[in-house]
Amino acid sequence: MARKNDTPTVQVTASPGSGGETHQQADGRPHITTNHGVRISDNQNSLKAGDRGPTLLEDFVLREKIFHFDHERIPERIVHARGSGAHGFFECTVAIPELTKASLFQKKGERVPLFTRFSTVAGGAGSVDTPRDVRGFAVKFYTQEGNWDLVGNNIPVFFIQDAIKFPDLIHSVKMEADKGYPQAGSAHDTFWDFVSLMPESTHMVMWAMSDRAIPRSLRMMEGFGVHTFQMINAKGETTFVKFHWRPKLGMQSTCWDEAVKIAGADPDFHRRDLFESIESGDFPEWELGLQVFDEEFAAAQSYDVLDATKLIPEEVLPLRIVGRMVLDRNVDNFFAETEQVAFLPTNVVPGIDFSNDPLLQGRLFSYLDTQKSRLGTTNFHQIPINAPKCPFGNFQRDGMMQMMVPKGRANYEPNSLGANGEDGGPRESPKTGFATITTNDDRNDPTQKLRVRGALFADHYSQARLFFRSQAPIEQAHLASAIVFELSKVALEPVRLRMISNLRNVDEGLAKRVADGLAMDLPAASKPAKAPIDMEVSDALSIVKKGDPAMPGRKVAILFDEGSDKAEIDAVVKSVEAAGGSALLIAPKVGGISVKGGTLKADGQLAGSPSVLFDAVAIILTKAAAAKLSKEGAAVQFVMDAYGHVKTIGHNTGAQALIDKAGVEPDEGVVSLADFAKVAPKRHWDRESKVRTLA
């Protein structure tokens, strides 16, 4: 269930056993093993049939090694594929409880761990570090209230205003679809074609063609959340905010000629620079600044603050520096951490919220989706780099690569298993949980974002009552009996009681029948959120009231044996088929059986063709055969079941002994062969009270 994500340690070569000397070689080095822990004696030679023979399929060591290698790659990010990341921390330098209740901003000096990934946008994972391009600037804060991902860029605006244009923008900037080039660059037809047709891109093009797009170092770039976000404090007061990262080292760019030459001299220029500076203890650092404003300010600007192609000049709205980010630890493993880190703009914590920026709104869909495609499983949040460092747990279960082993049976909510001494699992936190800011971004717009249902949705019982009351008496009895049966299987007594309490709001009689059926006292009725009303009974809700079933599509069994009259059998077959049903012959033996008037083969053998497989049965026997079958369990059961299941039973006079043995009492459903086809598909419900007790 809830679990803490301890710092992950990945042992590449050690046996994953209990550790200790037995799992180490004499020189202290771990044994190399297969993925399943078996020590490998020879990691140099595959198993062959003779020293020059073919490699053997039996060589599981070789096969596992190559198999795993074959699957080492995962899909690269559709954008921002080339990136470099590092661990670090965020420190609050100015507490801002008046703006936000987010835990990481509550106390000066408080730190939270984080992971930051910088990236280019257009190039593939193996492309160079210094093309002219926007740089991604994505930060995952592992706060005590869950992960907050601030997934920004090094440029404060964007090319497009609405997420629906993003696939077009990216298709146009990436290598051209037919040629497969250029790699990692916007200097080509399709990109400029697109932006020339999209005037809203013009502002971003200014930035993208500026020296900001050829940074000297990842450590010397500004970062921006780009969109307008919202903050909410403990009193419920909200404010708009834009996020800015300011590098301690100041900003610096390369010359274009330099960038081009660096691409050849050191394609990993930025990755190396970041790694080496952290390795040498020269930790890159940024200040976090906020532009905070209200609706009045927003309304007074000449542009819309929800438009991601616009910025708010600092001179108009200065930054408030509230914290610092320090990157002080390189990754241990590029793939496990930098490649598998999955940023989600939807990762916000209580105190931080979105705005209606249509670009941001689209991003809220995209990232979760893409991580499933990239990392292959909805459980990507369990990968150590993505897992929260605070306790987390819910009722989401299973899926590929499930790493958690939840105990108990509570995998749904609400549940009352806790009252039974079981682990009922986690519950929602109305006070401290994330709650969406309800006001619309345009505070004059009365529309609210609410997790609610309309008032009339609170009527949960009127139509349950309508359904029950519209049923025929026999159907009501079946329904009550079904509930009695199901609840008799429920071992938790409070659950049975609660259910009966609820049933009292449906129909008092039903509740009483169920309570009687379980031999329980009738509990008080539960209090409905909205009192039920009595609706006009609807016959259309009843199966029985819709009338008797017709023959088409129904199956009829004709039980016969040696000596039966073929003419009688043929007549029943004919009448059933004429009415649209199908007739199947059932006998103790399936091969040729001599009957009066010929030989007949059966479609089914009696023991393997019980009457439950048919809608009605006809029994055509000689007296002698009926006497014989009266001692045959399968035959007696055949008739007994047909009777007990209130089916039509047609029979000739010869069959009477078997009919009697099965305890069949005469009623309108026990008929002569002449009348059989007319009533065959019908169930004779009046009989039911004679054969079983109903609630």
Element (H, E) at 516: helix 508-518
DSSP three-state, residue 201: helix
- Which residues from 105-124 bind ligand HDE, rule CB under 6 A? 117, 119
| 687 annotated ligand-binding residue | no
- Least distance in angstroms from the C-beta of 255 to ligand HDE: 25
With CB under 6 A as the rule, give the number of residues binding ligand HDE: 24
Among 124, 362, 424, 563, binds ligand HDE (CB under 6 A): 362
Q: How far is the CB of 410 from ligand HDE (least distance, A)?
A: 33
Distance CA 351, CA 606 (A): 73
The nearer residue to ligand HDE, 93 or 366, going by C-beta atoms, is 366
Residue 135 in marked binding region? no
Half-sphere exposure of 222 (CA within 13 A, CB side): 15
Q: Is 370 in the site for ligand HDE (CB under 6 A)?
A: yes
Q: Taking CB under 6 A as the rule, does residue 381 contact ligand HDE? A: no
CB of 243 to ligand HDE, least distance (A): 10
Question: Cis omega (within 30 of 0) on the bond before 414?
Answer: yes
Indicate if the alpha-carbon torsion angle 446, 452, 453, 454 is positive or negative.
negative
By CB under 6 A, is residue 270 in contact with ligand HDE? no
Q: How far apart are CA 37 and CA 652, in angstroms?
A: 73
131 binds ligand HDE (CB under 6 A): no
166-169 long-range Cβ contacts below 8 angstroms, 24+ apart: 166/359, 166/362, 166/366, 168/194, 169/194, 169/198, 169/201
Known binding residue 132? Answer is: no
Can you say how many angstroms the Cα of residue 29 is from the centroid of all Cα atoms in its chain?
43
Residues 6+ apart with CB under 8 A from 213: 132, 133, 134, 135, 155, 207
DSSP designation for 549: P
Is 136 an interacting residue with respect to ligand HDE (CB under 6 A)?
Answer: yes
Which of residues 283, 297, 367, 685 is near ligand HDE by CB under 6 A?
367
- Choose which of 79, 349, 484, 619 interacts with ligand HDE (CB under 6 A): 79
Q: Under the criterion CB under 6 A, does residue 152 sit at the interface with ligand HDE?
A: yes
Interface segment toward ligand HDE; rule CB under 6 A; list 359-367, 384-392, 506-514, 602-610:
359-367
What is the rounded distance in angstroms from the CA atom of residue 399 to the CA atom of residue 521? Answer: 43
Q: Which is nearer to ligand HDE, 312 or 556 (CB)?
A: 312
Q: Please pick, from the candidates 148, 158, 243, 245, the single residue that binds ligand HDE as defined by CB under 6 A.
A: 158
- Cα dist from 548 to 202, 334, 662, whole Å: 73, 71, 26
Which residue is associated with the tokens 């986690």?
A: 426
Specify whether the CB–CB gap between 569 and 540 falls below 8 A.
Answer: no
CA atoms within 13 A on the CB side of 294: 5
Work out which of 105, 166, 354, 614 binds ligand HDE, going by CB under 6 A: 166
Residues 333-352, one symbol each (x = binds ligand HDE by CB under 6 A, - = not), give: ----------x---------
Q: What is the DSSP string of 108-173?
A: TT-EEEEEEEEEESSS-TTS-S-SS--EEEEEEEEEBTEEEEEEEESSSS-S-SSGGGHHHHHHHH
Distance separating alpha carbons of residues 86 and 385, to the nearest angstrom: 11
Task: From 73-81, 214-222, 623-631, 681-689, give the range in contact with ligand HDE by CB under 6 A.
Answer: 73-81
In the complex with ligand HDE, which residue's Cβ is closer, 343 or 614?
A: 343
- Residue 694's nearest CA partner among 467, 464, 482, 465 is 482
- Binds ligand HDE (CB under 6 A): choice among 112, 151, 437, 646: 151
User: Measured from the CB atom, is 136 or 406 closer to ligand HDE?
Assistant: 136
Q: Which two tokens stand for residue 43?
A: 């990691």
Tell me the C-alpha distance between 84 and 218, whole Å. Answer: 9
Q: Near ligand HDE by CB under 6 A, which window of 90-98, 158-166, 465-473, 681-689?
A: 158-166
Cα–Cα separations (whole angstroms), residue 290 to 94, 99, 281: 11, 11, 28
Active site residues: 80, 153
Q: Any known ligand binding at 166?
A: yes
Q: Is 117 annotated as a binding residue?
A: yes
Our CB check for ligand HDE shows the closer of 79 and 595 to be: 79
Q: Would you tell me how many other CB atoms lie within 10 Å of the CB of residue 267? A: 16
Q: Which stretch binds ligand HDE (CB under 6 A): 349-357, 362-370, 450-458, 680-688?
A: 362-370
C-alpha atoms less than 13 angstroms from C-alpha of 154 in its C-beta half-sphere: 31
Q: How far is the CB of 291 from ligand HDE (least distance, A)?
A: 15
Nearer to ligand HDE, 362 or 384 (CB): 362
With CA atoms as reference, report the closest residue to 370 among 173, 76, 603, 145: 76
Angular region, 109: left φ>0, alpha ψ -120 to 50, beta rest: left
- Return the range that interacts with ligand HDE (CB under 6 A); candidates 58-66, 365-373, 510-518, 620-628: 365-373
CA-CA distance, 643 to 651, in Å (whole number)? Answer: 12
245 sits near ligand HDE (criterion: CB under 6 A): no
289-318 mask for ligand HDE (x: CB under 6 A)? -------------------x----------
Among 84, 130, 147, 153, binds ligand HDE (CB under 6 A): 153
Q: Which stretch binds ligand HDE (CB under 6 A): 105-113, 148-156, 432-440, 587-595?
A: 148-156
Residue tagged 């730190």 (tokens): 111
Helix, strand, or coil here: 692?
A: coil
163 interacts with ligand HDE by CB under 6 A: yes
Compute the distance between CA of residue 283 and CA of residue 329 in angstroms, rounded to an integer. Answer: 8
> Binding to ligand HDE by residue 226, rule CB under 6 A?
yes
Q: Which residue is nearest to ligand HDE (CB)?
A: 136
Per-residue contact string for residues 569-598; x = within reach of ligand HDE by CB under 6 A: ------------------------------
The single residue among 101, 271, 363, 651 that binds ligand HDE, judged by CB under 6 A, is 363
Is residue 178 classed exposed, middle or buried when 0-12, 13-18 and 19+ CB atoms within 10 A define those classes?
exposed
212 is an interface residue for ligand HDE by CB under 6 A: no
Q: Which residue in 1, 47, 62, 78 binds ligand HDE (CB under 6 A)?
A: 78
User: Three-state SS for 270?
Assistant: helix
Q: Which of 262, 331, 359, 497 binds ligand HDE (CB under 6 A)?
A: 359
CB burial of 308-335 (b: ≥16 within 10 Å; e: otherwise) equals bbbbbeeeebebeebbbbbbeebbeeee
CB of 270 to ligand HDE, least distance (A): 13
Residue 163 and residue 45: Cα distance in Å, rounded?
A: 54
From 20-28, 151-159, 178-186, 509-517, span contacting ligand HDE (CB under 6 A): 151-159
In the complex, the smallest distance separating the C-beta of residue 83 from ligand HDE, rounded to whole angstroms, is: 5
Largest CA distance in the chain: 110
Site string for ligand HDE, 21-60 (x = CB under 6 A): ----------------------------------------
Answer yes or no: is 141 a known binding residue.
Answer: no
Coil vs helix vs strand at 73: coil
Would you count residue 138 as binding ligand HDE (CB under 6 A)? yes
Q: Which residues bind ligand HDE (CB under 6 A)?
A: 77-80, 83, 117, 119, 136, 138, 151-153, 158, 163, 166, 226, 308, 343, 359, 362-363, 366-367, 370
Binding residues for heme: 77, 117, 166, 363, 367, 374
